[in-house]
Amino acid sequence: MMTGSLFILFHKIIDLELAFKLTSKEFKCQCTRTTCSIVVMSPALRDSWNISRAQFAKPLKVNSGHRCGPHNEEVGGLINSKHLTGEAIDISHDEFDNLEKQRLRLILENNFDVVIEYPTFYHCHNN
């Protein structure tokens, strides 16, 4: 869970640049619950994103970052999803041609421990 590492934690209403070309608005839970008020991001995820985004050198769209428990359940996320602890990110690839998509995947695989390809996005996290 969150033991042994420091995590970035702040109120959901604040919009900050969390990482290189990544705002908290893009990374926060997309639900509208009043009980969902914080955003959590792992420093390891931030570092992997920063390197990947700089290497790809094109805008990337985030489909999902941090999620609260109820929203994670609604979208069919795993019960122990790394999205719950701000340690996972889903990055859209459907706007890229095949060559760009392959290049993005290689970059992500070099910077994240786990990259899973879905039809429209890559799920990325570190162990």
Greater confidence, 83 or 14?
83
Domain range enclosing 38: 8-125
Q: How many domains does the chain have?
A: 1
Rounded CA separation 49/110 (Å): 11
In a domain, 3, yes or no: no
Question: pTM here?
Answer: 0.89
In a domain, 54, yes or no: yes
Residue 1 clears pLDDT 90, i.e. is over it:
no
CATH of residue 36's domain is 3.30.1380
In a domain, 1, yes or no: no
In a domain, 2, yes or no: no
Residue 78 clears pLDDT 80, i.e. is over it:
yes
Do the Cβ atoms of 118 and 34 come closer than 8 Å? Answer: no
Residue 87 clears pLDDT 60, i.e. is over it:
yes
Please give the average per-residue pLDDT across 40-67, as a whole number.
96
- At 5, is the pLDDT very low, low, confident or very high (cuts 50, 70, 90)? low
Q: Which of 5-9, 53-57, 59-63 has the lowest mean pLDDT?
A: 5-9
**AA identity, residue 26:** E
Rounded CA separation 52/20 (Å): 10
Instruction: Output the pLDDT for position 2.
Output: 41
Rounded CA separation 49/4 (Å): 21
